[in-house]
Structure 1
Amino acid sequence: MSYALDLRLDDLVAADADSQQAEQAFWPQDLTVLSEHHSGSDRAHSYVVAYDRSITWGVPGQPQIAAIKVARDLDQATFTLDMAYHATVPFAQNWLVERGCPPEPITVLDGDVMRPADDLTMRVEQQIRDSGARYEVLGSWTSGFAPCEAWTLTRDSNSEQAPVRLFLQEGDFDTHSYTVREGAFADEGRARRWLDERSGPLPEPPEYRGEAIAHRARAALIRSVGASALPQSGLDARQAPSIARGQRPGFGRSL
Protein backbone atom coordinates (compact mmCIF):
# COMPACT_ATOMS: atom_id res chain seq x y z
CA MET A 1 0.00 0.00 0.00
CA SER A 2 1.47 3.35 -1.01
CA TYR A 3 1.30 6.44 1.19
CA ALA A 4 2.77 8.72 -1.49
CA LEU A 5 0.20 9.90 -3.99
CA ASP A 6 1.84 11.90 -6.76
CA LEU A 7 -0.56 13.08 -9.45
CA ARG A 8 2.31 14.66 -11.42
CA LEU A 9 0.74 18.11 -11.59
CA ASP A 10 4.02 20.04 -11.21
CA ASP A 11 4.46 22.68 -13.93
CA LEU A 12 0.82 22.18 -15.00
CA VAL A 13 -2.10 24.53 -14.42
CA ALA A 14 -5.77 23.70 -14.02
CA ALA A 15 -7.68 23.79 -17.29
CA ASP A 16 -10.94 24.95 -15.68
CA ALA A 17 -12.38 26.35 -12.47
CA ASP A 18 -13.69 22.98 -11.26
CA SER A 19 -10.25 21.40 -11.56
CA GLN A 20 -8.66 24.32 -9.75
CA GLN A 21 -11.16 24.04 -6.92
CA ALA A 22 -10.62 20.28 -6.68
CA GLU A 23 -6.84 20.72 -6.49
CA GLN A 24 -7.14 23.32 -3.73
CA ALA A 25 -9.34 20.98 -1.65
CA PHE A 26 -7.00 18.09 -2.24
CA TRP A 27 -4.32 16.97 0.26
CA PRO A 28 -2.30 14.08 -1.23
CA GLN A 29 -0.50 13.41 2.08
CA ASP A 30 -3.83 12.34 3.61
CA LEU A 31 -4.50 9.69 0.97
CA THR A 32 -3.50 6.04 1.04
CA VAL A 33 -3.51 4.59 -2.47
CA LEU A 34 -5.48 1.36 -2.74
CA SER A 35 -5.43 0.97 -6.53
CA GLU A 36 -4.27 3.03 -9.49
CA HIS A 37 -4.03 2.86 -13.26
CA HIS A 38 -2.28 5.11 -15.77
CA SER A 39 -2.89 5.11 -19.51
CA GLY A 40 -2.47 7.11 -22.71
CA SER A 41 0.63 8.56 -24.28
CA ASP A 42 3.10 9.67 -21.59
CA ARG A 43 0.65 8.21 -19.05
CA ALA A 44 -1.51 11.28 -19.50
CA HIS A 45 -4.55 9.76 -17.77
CA SER A 46 -4.55 8.59 -14.15
CA TYR A 47 -7.25 6.78 -12.21
CA VAL A 48 -6.87 6.29 -8.46
CA VAL A 49 -8.83 4.69 -5.62
CA ALA A 50 -7.58 5.95 -2.26
CA TYR A 51 -8.48 5.96 1.42
CA ASP A 52 -8.68 9.48 2.87
CA ARG A 53 -7.44 9.33 6.46
CA SER A 54 -8.47 12.93 7.15
CA ILE A 55 -12.18 12.06 6.91
CA THR A 56 -12.06 10.30 10.29
CA TRP A 57 -11.52 13.71 11.92
CA GLY A 58 -14.54 15.27 10.24
CA VAL A 59 -18.29 14.74 10.37
CA PRO A 60 -19.10 11.17 11.52
CA GLY A 61 -20.33 8.81 8.82
CA GLN A 62 -18.81 10.61 5.84
CA PRO A 63 -17.53 8.44 2.95
CA GLN A 64 -13.79 7.81 3.16
CA ILE A 65 -12.97 6.28 -0.25
CA ALA A 66 -11.86 8.76 -2.90
CA ALA A 67 -12.10 8.10 -6.63
CA ILE A 68 -9.78 10.40 -8.57
CA LYS A 69 -9.43 10.99 -12.30
CA VAL A 70 -6.67 13.16 -13.79
CA ALA A 71 -6.19 14.04 -17.47
CA ARG A 72 -3.04 15.94 -18.45
CA ASP A 73 -2.49 17.90 -21.65
CA LEU A 74 1.27 18.11 -21.78
CA ASP A 75 1.27 20.20 -24.96
CA GLN A 76 -0.87 22.86 -23.29
CA ALA A 77 0.66 22.28 -19.83
CA THR A 78 -2.81 21.91 -18.30
CA PHE A 79 -4.73 19.29 -16.38
CA THR A 80 -8.29 18.43 -15.39
CA LEU A 81 -8.97 16.88 -11.98
CA ASP A 82 -12.23 15.24 -10.99
CA MET A 83 -12.92 13.32 -7.80
CA ALA A 84 -15.80 11.86 -5.80
CA TYR A 85 -16.14 10.16 -2.42
CA HIS A 86 -17.83 6.80 -1.84
CA ALA A 87 -18.58 4.61 1.17
CA THR A 88 -17.00 1.48 -0.33
CA VAL A 89 -14.35 0.61 -2.88
CA PRO A 90 -16.62 -1.02 -5.54
CA PHE A 91 -18.68 2.17 -5.92
CA ALA A 92 -15.44 4.15 -6.34
CA GLN A 93 -14.24 1.66 -8.95
CA ASN A 94 -17.58 1.90 -10.75
CA TRP A 95 -17.26 5.70 -10.85
CA LEU A 96 -13.83 5.44 -12.47
CA VAL A 97 -14.89 2.77 -14.99
CA GLU A 98 -17.77 5.02 -16.05
CA ARG A 99 -15.17 7.70 -16.77
CA GLY A 100 -12.95 5.63 -19.00
CA CYS A 101 -10.81 3.50 -16.68
CA PRO A 102 -10.38 -0.12 -17.80
CA PRO A 103 -12.12 -2.31 -15.20
CA GLU A 104 -9.45 -5.00 -14.81
CA PRO A 105 -6.46 -3.02 -13.45
CA ILE A 106 -8.48 -0.87 -11.05
CA THR A 107 -9.96 -3.93 -9.30
CA VAL A 108 -6.59 -5.10 -7.96
CA LEU A 109 -6.00 -3.68 -4.48
CA ASP A 110 -2.51 -3.21 -3.06
CA GLY A 111 -1.24 -3.80 0.42
CA ASP A 112 -2.55 -5.35 3.60
CA VAL A 113 -6.22 -4.46 3.19
CA MET A 114 -9.18 -6.49 4.40
CA ARG A 115 -10.19 -9.20 1.94
CA PRO A 116 -13.64 -10.54 0.95
CA ALA A 117 -14.82 -13.25 3.34
CA ASP A 118 -16.84 -15.29 0.85
CA ASP A 119 -17.93 -15.78 -2.76
CA LEU A 120 -21.18 -13.87 -2.29
CA THR A 121 -19.23 -10.79 -1.22
CA MET A 122 -17.12 -10.99 -4.38
CA ARG A 123 -20.20 -11.48 -6.50
CA VAL A 124 -22.01 -8.44 -5.08
CA GLU A 125 -18.89 -6.28 -5.42
CA GLN A 126 -18.51 -7.31 -9.06
CA GLN A 127 -22.18 -6.49 -9.61
CA ILE A 128 -21.59 -2.96 -8.29
CA ARG A 129 -18.42 -2.44 -10.36
CA ASP A 130 -20.19 -3.54 -13.55
CA SER A 131 -23.45 -1.69 -12.89
CA GLY A 132 -22.79 1.44 -14.93
CA ALA A 133 -25.37 4.09 -14.03
CA ARG A 134 -27.82 1.50 -12.68
CA TYR A 135 -27.69 2.62 -9.03
CA GLU A 136 -28.72 6.12 -7.91
CA VAL A 137 -27.07 6.75 -4.54
CA LEU A 138 -29.55 7.98 -1.92
CA GLY A 139 -27.23 8.02 1.07
CA SER A 140 -24.32 6.32 2.79
CA TRP A 141 -22.59 5.84 6.14
CA THR A 142 -19.12 4.74 7.20
CA SER A 143 -17.91 3.59 10.63
CA GLY A 144 -14.38 2.37 11.26
CA PHE A 145 -15.11 1.35 14.83
CA ALA A 146 -17.52 -1.12 16.42
CA PRO A 147 -19.53 -1.93 14.50
CA CYS A 148 -17.06 -1.70 11.61
CA GLU A 149 -19.40 -1.18 8.68
CA ALA A 150 -20.19 0.95 5.67
CA TRP A 151 -23.42 1.05 3.71
CA THR A 152 -24.71 2.64 0.53
CA LEU A 153 -28.43 3.12 -0.04
CA THR A 154 -29.43 3.18 -3.71
CA ARG A 155 -32.33 3.14 -6.12
CA ASP A 156 -31.99 0.33 -8.67
CA SER A 157 -33.23 1.37 -12.12
CA ASN A 158 -33.29 -2.31 -13.20
CA SER A 159 -35.69 -3.44 -10.46
CA GLU A 160 -39.43 -2.82 -10.44
CA GLN A 161 -39.99 -4.98 -7.37
CA ALA A 162 -38.25 -3.70 -4.22
CA PRO A 163 -36.25 -1.07 -6.17
CA VAL A 164 -34.47 0.44 -3.16
CA ARG A 165 -31.28 -1.54 -2.59
CA LEU A 166 -29.01 -1.39 0.45
CA PHE A 167 -25.41 -2.58 0.14
CA LEU A 168 -24.07 -3.33 3.61
CA GLN A 169 -20.37 -3.98 4.20
CA GLU A 170 -19.35 -5.39 7.60
CA GLY A 171 -15.72 -5.81 8.64
CA ASP A 172 -14.20 -8.37 10.99
CA PHE A 173 -10.89 -7.30 12.53
CA ASP A 174 -10.20 -10.78 13.89
CA THR A 175 -10.23 -12.43 10.45
CA HIS A 176 -9.09 -9.30 8.58
CA SER A 177 -11.99 -9.82 6.19
CA TYR A 178 -15.39 -8.38 5.38
CA THR A 179 -18.74 -9.31 3.89
CA VAL A 180 -21.02 -7.36 1.55
CA ARG A 181 -24.73 -8.11 1.40
CA GLU A 182 -27.51 -6.63 -0.72
CA GLY A 183 -30.91 -5.87 0.79
CA ALA A 184 -34.12 -4.97 -1.05
CA PHE A 185 -36.90 -2.66 0.08
CA ALA A 186 -40.11 -1.28 -1.38
CA ASP A 187 -39.17 2.32 -0.58
CA GLU A 188 -36.47 4.43 1.05
CA GLY A 189 -38.42 4.90 4.28
CA ARG A 190 -38.53 1.17 4.98
CA ALA A 191 -34.83 0.84 4.24
CA ARG A 192 -33.92 3.60 6.66
CA ARG A 193 -36.15 2.13 9.35
CA TRP A 194 -34.32 -1.18 8.98
CA LEU A 195 -31.00 0.63 9.34
CA ASP A 196 -32.22 2.39 12.49
CA GLU A 197 -33.81 -0.63 14.15
CA ARG A 198 -31.96 -3.71 12.81
CA SER A 199 -34.95 -5.70 14.09
CA GLY A 200 -34.57 -8.55 11.61
CA PRO A 201 -32.33 -9.98 8.91
CA LEU A 202 -31.53 -7.90 5.85
CA PRO A 203 -34.32 -8.62 3.32
CA GLU A 204 -32.88 -10.47 0.33
CA PRO A 205 -33.63 -9.24 -3.21
CA PRO A 206 -36.48 -11.14 -4.89
CA GLU A 207 -34.14 -12.44 -7.58
CA TYR A 208 -32.09 -14.26 -4.93
CA ARG A 209 -35.08 -16.44 -4.16
CA GLY A 210 -35.37 -17.35 -7.85
CA GLU A 211 -31.70 -18.31 -7.92
CA ALA A 212 -32.08 -20.47 -4.80
CA ILE A 213 -35.03 -22.33 -6.33
CA ALA A 214 -33.05 -22.92 -9.53
CA HIS A 215 -30.06 -24.22 -7.57
CA ARG A 216 -32.19 -26.60 -5.52
CA ALA A 217 -33.83 -27.92 -8.68
CA ARG A 218 -30.43 -28.34 -10.27
CA ALA A 219 -29.12 -30.26 -7.24
CA ALA A 220 -32.16 -32.54 -7.25
CA LEU A 221 -31.68 -33.25 -10.93
CA ILE A 222 -28.01 -34.08 -10.40
CA ARG A 223 -28.87 -36.48 -7.57
CA SER A 224 -31.61 -38.20 -9.59
CA VAL A 225 -29.88 -38.64 -12.96
CA GLY A 226 -26.20 -38.07 -12.21
CA ALA A 227 -23.91 -35.33 -13.43
CA SER A 228 -22.81 -37.35 -16.47
CA ALA A 229 -26.35 -37.21 -17.86
CA LEU A 230 -26.33 -33.40 -17.94
CA PRO A 231 -24.40 -32.35 -21.08
CA GLN A 232 -23.65 -28.71 -21.81
CA SER A 233 -24.36 -27.82 -18.20
CA GLY A 234 -21.07 -26.04 -17.60
CA LEU A 235 -20.71 -28.06 -14.39
CA ASP A 236 -18.47 -30.99 -13.66
CA ALA A 237 -18.73 -33.68 -11.02
CA ARG A 238 -16.49 -31.70 -8.66
CA GLN A 239 -18.93 -28.78 -8.64
CA ALA A 240 -22.06 -30.84 -8.07
CA PRO A 241 -21.50 -31.48 -4.33
CA SER A 242 -21.09 -27.76 -3.60
CA ILE A 243 -24.36 -27.00 -5.36
CA ALA A 244 -26.10 -29.65 -3.30
CA ARG A 245 -24.96 -27.80 -0.18
CA GLY A 246 -26.66 -24.66 -1.45
CA GLN A 247 -23.52 -22.81 -2.55
CA ARG A 248 -23.47 -20.63 -5.64
CA PRO A 249 -20.92 -21.79 -8.25
CA GLY A 250 -19.21 -19.62 -10.79
CA PHE A 251 -18.68 -16.47 -8.75
CA GLY A 252 -14.91 -16.43 -9.15
CA ARG A 253 -12.59 -14.22 -7.12
CA SER A 254 -12.46 -10.79 -8.73
CA LEU A 255 -9.90 -9.07 -6.53
Structure 2
Amino acid sequence: MPELDVRLDGFTADEKTTDAFFHTVGWIEDELVPLAEHHTADAAHSFYVLHDPTATLDHPGVSQYAALHIHRDMQARTFRFEHAVLPLPAMAQSWLIHRGCPPDAIGLVAGMGPAPADEATRALERRLAGDGDHYALGYSYTSDDPDDMVVLAALRALDECAPSPFRVVVEEVDTDAWTYTLREGGFATAGQALQWCEDRLSGTAGPLPPVKPAASSARPAAVPMSGISRPPGRSR
Protein backbone atom coordinates (compact mmCIF):
# COMPACT_ATOMS: atom_id res chain seq x y z
CA MET A 1 0.00 0.00 0.00
CA PRO A 2 1.60 3.33 -1.01
CA GLU A 3 2.05 5.92 1.71
CA LEU A 4 1.27 9.60 1.36
CA ASP A 5 4.32 11.89 1.30
CA VAL A 6 3.34 15.56 1.09
CA ARG A 7 7.01 16.59 0.70
CA LEU A 8 6.82 19.50 3.14
CA ASP A 9 9.88 18.82 5.29
CA GLY A 10 11.62 22.17 5.79
CA PHE A 11 8.62 24.18 4.58
CA THR A 12 6.47 26.49 6.69
CA ALA A 13 3.27 28.48 6.26
CA ASP A 14 1.32 31.15 8.06
CA GLU A 15 -0.81 30.13 11.03
CA LYS A 16 -4.07 30.07 9.06
CA THR A 17 -2.64 27.83 6.35
CA THR A 18 -0.91 25.56 8.86
CA ASP A 19 -4.11 25.06 10.87
CA ALA A 20 -6.17 24.48 7.73
CA PHE A 21 -3.69 21.91 6.42
CA PHE A 22 -3.69 20.03 9.71
CA HIS A 23 -7.48 19.89 9.94
CA THR A 24 -7.82 18.95 6.27
CA VAL A 25 -4.91 16.55 5.74
CA GLY A 26 -2.46 16.32 8.63
CA TRP A 27 -4.61 14.67 11.28
CA ILE A 28 -5.55 11.79 8.95
CA GLU A 29 -2.38 11.75 6.86
CA ASP A 30 -1.56 8.17 7.90
CA GLU A 31 -5.00 7.01 6.74
CA LEU A 32 -5.02 8.70 3.34
CA VAL A 33 -4.06 6.47 0.42
CA PRO A 34 -2.57 8.14 -2.68
CA LEU A 35 -4.27 6.70 -5.76
CA ALA A 36 -2.42 9.05 -8.11
CA GLU A 37 0.18 11.77 -7.72
CA HIS A 38 2.27 14.08 -9.88
CA HIS A 39 5.14 16.36 -8.92
CA THR A 40 6.49 19.05 -11.24
CA ALA A 41 10.15 18.90 -12.22
CA ASP A 42 10.95 22.01 -10.16
CA ALA A 43 9.19 20.46 -7.11
CA ALA A 44 7.02 23.58 -6.76
CA HIS A 45 3.73 21.75 -7.33
CA SER A 46 2.35 18.41 -6.15
CA PHE A 47 -1.02 16.98 -7.19
CA TYR A 48 -2.71 14.05 -5.42
CA VAL A 49 -5.83 11.94 -5.77
CA LEU A 50 -6.45 10.53 -2.29
CA HIS A 51 -8.74 7.90 -0.80
CA ASP A 52 -9.92 8.24 2.79
CA PRO A 53 -11.23 4.81 3.90
CA THR A 54 -12.41 6.26 7.23
CA ALA A 55 -14.67 8.93 5.71
CA THR A 56 -18.02 7.18 6.19
CA LEU A 57 -17.37 5.71 9.64
CA ASP A 58 -18.99 8.59 11.51
CA HIS A 59 -21.07 10.20 8.77
CA PRO A 60 -22.72 7.82 6.28
CA GLY A 61 -22.85 9.13 2.75
CA VAL A 62 -19.70 11.27 2.93
CA SER A 63 -17.44 11.21 -0.12
CA GLN A 64 -14.29 9.12 0.26
CA TYR A 65 -12.00 10.81 -2.27
CA ALA A 66 -10.07 14.06 -2.21
CA ALA A 67 -7.98 16.15 -4.57
CA LEU A 68 -4.97 17.94 -3.08
CA HIS A 69 -2.77 20.55 -4.75
CA ILE A 70 0.29 21.79 -2.87
CA HIS A 71 2.17 24.85 -4.15
CA ARG A 72 5.64 25.44 -2.70
CA ASP A 73 7.71 28.61 -2.84
CA MET A 74 11.12 27.02 -3.27
CA GLN A 75 13.05 30.18 -2.36
CA ALA A 76 11.03 31.27 0.69
CA ARG A 77 10.49 27.61 1.73
CA THR A 78 6.79 28.23 2.32
CA PHE A 79 3.71 26.46 1.00
CA ARG A 80 0.02 26.90 0.33
CA PHE A 81 -2.57 24.35 -0.74
CA GLU A 82 -6.00 23.69 -2.23
CA HIS A 83 -8.19 20.73 -1.34
CA ALA A 84 -11.57 19.34 -2.38
CA VAL A 85 -13.56 16.31 -1.20
CA LEU A 86 -15.28 14.57 -4.12
CA PRO A 87 -17.36 11.42 -4.66
CA LEU A 88 -15.39 9.87 -7.56
CA PRO A 89 -11.69 9.63 -8.46
CA ALA A 90 -12.39 10.98 -11.95
CA MET A 91 -13.83 14.13 -10.41
CA ALA A 92 -10.70 14.53 -8.30
CA GLN A 93 -8.59 14.13 -11.44
CA SER A 94 -10.69 16.78 -13.19
CA TRP A 95 -10.28 19.19 -10.27
CA LEU A 96 -6.49 18.79 -10.43
CA ILE A 97 -6.29 19.05 -14.21
CA HIS A 98 -8.13 22.35 -14.08
CA ARG A 99 -5.52 23.60 -11.62
CA GLY A 100 -2.59 22.88 -13.88
CA CYS A 101 -1.88 19.16 -13.54
CA PRO A 102 -1.05 17.56 -16.93
CA PRO A 103 -3.95 15.22 -17.82
CA ASP A 104 -1.64 12.33 -18.73
CA ALA A 105 0.29 12.62 -15.45
CA ILE A 106 -2.47 11.86 -12.93
CA GLY A 107 -3.62 8.39 -13.95
CA LEU A 108 -4.74 6.11 -11.12
CA VAL A 109 -2.37 3.41 -9.88
CA ALA A 110 -3.56 0.02 -11.11
CA GLY A 111 -4.74 -2.54 -8.57
CA MET A 112 -5.72 -0.08 -5.84
CA GLY A 113 -9.42 -0.94 -6.03
CA PRO A 114 -12.01 -2.60 -8.25
CA ALA A 115 -11.40 -2.43 -12.00
CA PRO A 116 -13.67 -0.78 -14.59
CA ALA A 117 -16.16 -3.37 -15.80
CA ASP A 118 -16.50 -2.15 -19.38
CA GLU A 119 -15.59 0.45 -21.99
CA ALA A 120 -18.67 2.54 -21.19
CA THR A 121 -17.30 3.02 -17.68
CA ARG A 122 -13.85 3.96 -18.93
CA ALA A 123 -15.29 6.39 -21.50
CA LEU A 124 -17.43 8.21 -18.94
CA GLU A 125 -14.47 8.44 -16.55
CA ARG A 126 -12.37 10.03 -19.28
CA ARG A 127 -15.07 12.65 -19.88
CA LEU A 128 -15.45 13.37 -16.18
CA ALA A 129 -11.70 13.73 -15.76
CA GLY A 130 -11.06 15.79 -18.85
CA ASP A 131 -13.95 18.25 -19.07
CA GLY A 132 -14.56 19.47 -15.56
CA ASP A 133 -15.95 22.86 -16.50
CA HIS A 134 -19.35 21.94 -17.95
CA TYR A 135 -21.28 20.67 -14.91
CA ALA A 136 -21.33 21.46 -11.19
CA LEU A 137 -21.61 18.89 -8.42
CA GLY A 138 -24.53 19.65 -6.13
CA TYR A 139 -25.26 16.45 -4.19
CA SER A 140 -23.56 13.13 -3.60
CA TYR A 141 -24.00 10.06 -1.45
CA THR A 142 -21.51 7.21 -0.94
CA SER A 143 -22.68 3.85 0.39
CA ASP A 144 -19.99 1.34 1.35
CA ASP A 145 -22.51 -1.34 2.33
CA PRO A 146 -20.95 -4.61 1.03
CA ASP A 147 -24.37 -5.64 -0.23
CA ASP A 148 -24.85 -2.43 -2.20
CA MET A 149 -21.70 -0.41 -2.79
CA VAL A 150 -22.84 2.64 -4.75
CA VAL A 151 -21.88 6.27 -5.30
CA LEU A 152 -24.44 8.80 -6.51
CA ALA A 153 -23.58 12.26 -7.82
CA ALA A 154 -26.18 14.80 -9.00
CA LEU A 155 -24.86 17.44 -11.39
CA ARG A 156 -26.20 20.72 -12.76
CA ALA A 157 -25.32 22.15 -16.17
CA LEU A 158 -23.42 25.43 -16.08
CA ASP A 159 -24.78 26.10 -19.58
CA GLU A 160 -28.47 26.96 -19.12
CA CYS A 161 -29.19 25.84 -22.68
CA ALA A 162 -27.67 22.39 -22.26
CA PRO A 163 -29.91 19.38 -22.97
CA SER A 164 -30.62 17.23 -19.91
CA PRO A 165 -29.61 20.14 -17.64
CA PHE A 166 -29.40 17.83 -14.63
CA ARG A 167 -27.46 14.59 -14.55
CA VAL A 168 -27.03 11.72 -12.13
CA VAL A 169 -23.80 9.73 -12.29
CA VAL A 170 -23.93 6.31 -10.63
CA GLU A 171 -21.02 4.05 -9.71
CA GLU A 172 -21.95 0.50 -8.66
CA VAL A 173 -19.43 -2.08 -7.43
CA ASP A 174 -19.73 -5.81 -8.08
CA THR A 175 -18.01 -7.17 -4.97
CA ASP A 176 -17.86 -10.72 -6.36
CA ALA A 177 -16.14 -9.78 -9.61
CA TRP A 178 -14.41 -6.81 -7.94
CA THR A 179 -15.33 -4.51 -10.81
CA TYR A 180 -17.45 -1.38 -11.08
CA THR A 181 -19.68 0.30 -13.61
CA LEU A 182 -20.23 4.02 -14.12
CA ARG A 183 -23.39 5.27 -15.78
CA GLU A 184 -25.22 8.59 -16.19
CA GLY A 185 -28.82 9.65 -16.68
CA GLY A 186 -30.39 12.92 -17.79
CA PHE A 187 -33.17 14.85 -16.03
CA ALA A 188 -35.14 17.99 -16.81
CA THR A 189 -35.25 19.28 -13.20
CA ALA A 190 -33.21 19.10 -10.02
CA GLY A 191 -36.18 17.56 -8.22
CA GLN A 192 -36.34 14.67 -10.67
CA ALA A 193 -32.61 14.02 -10.35
CA LEU A 194 -32.70 14.06 -6.56
CA GLN A 195 -35.82 11.91 -6.40
CA TRP A 196 -34.09 9.28 -8.54
CA CYS A 197 -31.15 9.35 -6.10
CA GLU A 198 -33.50 8.86 -3.15
CA ASP A 199 -35.27 6.02 -4.95
CA ARG A 200 -31.94 4.35 -5.76
CA LEU A 201 -30.88 4.43 -2.13
CA SER A 202 -34.20 2.93 -1.07
CA GLY A 203 -34.06 0.27 -3.78
CA THR A 204 -37.09 1.50 -5.73
CA ALA A 205 -35.48 3.38 -8.63
CA GLY A 206 -36.22 2.52 -12.23
CA PRO A 207 -33.61 2.64 -15.01
CA LEU A 208 -31.66 5.84 -15.49
CA PRO A 209 -33.37 7.96 -18.15
CA PRO A 210 -31.21 8.58 -21.23
CA VAL A 211 -29.23 11.78 -21.64
CA LYS A 212 -30.54 14.00 -24.42
CA PRO A 213 -27.98 14.45 -27.22
CA ALA A 214 -26.08 17.72 -27.12
CA ALA A 215 -26.62 20.25 -29.86
CA SER A 216 -22.92 21.21 -29.80
CA SER A 217 -19.63 19.45 -29.18
CA ALA A 218 -19.57 20.31 -25.47
CA ARG A 219 -19.13 17.23 -23.33
CA PRO A 220 -20.45 16.91 -19.75
CA ALA A 221 -18.34 16.48 -16.68
CA ALA A 222 -18.26 17.63 -13.06
CA VAL A 223 -16.53 20.12 -10.81
CA PRO A 224 -16.99 20.64 -7.08
CA MET A 225 -19.43 23.56 -6.90
CA SER A 226 -22.66 24.01 -5.03
CA GLY A 227 -25.55 23.64 -7.41
CA ILE A 228 -28.28 21.32 -6.07
CA SER A 229 -29.63 21.09 -2.56
CA ARG A 230 -29.47 17.62 -1.02
CA PRO A 231 -32.72 15.71 -0.55
CA PRO A 232 -34.41 16.13 2.83
CA GLY A 233 -33.70 13.49 5.44
CA ARG A 234 -30.49 12.19 3.84
CA SER A 235 -27.00 12.94 5.10
CA ARG A 236 -24.42 13.86 2.52
TM-score by length of 1: 0.76
Secondary structure at the counterpart of residue 113 of structure 1: coil
Contact between 1:16 and 1:80, CA under 8 Å: does it hold in 2? Answer: no
Question: Following the alignment from structure 1 to structure 2, what is the Cα–Cα distance between the partners of residues 77 and 199?
Answer: 53
% identity of equivalent residues: 33
**Residues 17-73 of structure 1: CA deviation (Å, up to 9, x unaligned):** 3464123432210101111111131x2211011111221322110011011111111
CA distance in 1, matches of 2:182, 2:41: 34
Q: Does the 8 Å contact 1:69/1:82 carry over to 2? A: yes
Query: What is the rounded CA distance, in whole Å, between the counterparts of 1:88 and 1:19 in structure 2?
Result: 27
Residue 124 of structure 1 corresponds to 124
With over 3 angstroms needed to count, the CA separation of the structure-2 counterparts of 1:112 and 1:161, relative to structure 1, is closer
Partners of 1:95 and 1:25 lie apart in 2 by: 17
Q: How many residues align?
A: 206
Code of the aligned partner of 1:46: S
The alpha carbon displacement at 1:207 in A equals 1.8
Aligned counterpart in structure 2 of residue 189 of structure 1, from 191, 203, 214: 191
| Partner Cα distance (1:166, 1:143) in 2 | 15
Local SS of the residue matching 2:54: helix
CA–CA separation in structure 1 for the residues paired with 2:205 and 2:86: 27
Q: Which has the larger radius of gyration?
A: 1
Aligned counterparts of 1:207 and 1:16: Cα–Cα separation in 2: 49
Stretches of structure 2 that go unaligned for 5 or more consecutive residues are: 215-236
Runs (4 or more) in structure 1 with deviation over 3 Å come to none
Deviation (angstroms), 1:203 = 0.5
Give the 5 Å matches for 1:47-66.
Answer: 47-66=47-66
Distance 2:18 2:83 in 1: 9
Cα shift readout 1:89-108 (whole Å, capped 9, x = no counterpart): 00000000011101112123
The aligned residue for residue 199 of structure 1 is 205
What stretches of structure 1 of length at least 5 have no aligned partner?
Answer: 209-255
2:152 alignment partner in structure 1: 151
Contact map agreement 1:23 1:81 (CA 8 A) in 2: no
Q: Which has the higher contact order (CA 8 A, sep 6+)?
A: 2
Letter of the structure 2 residue corresponding to residue 188 of structure 1 = A
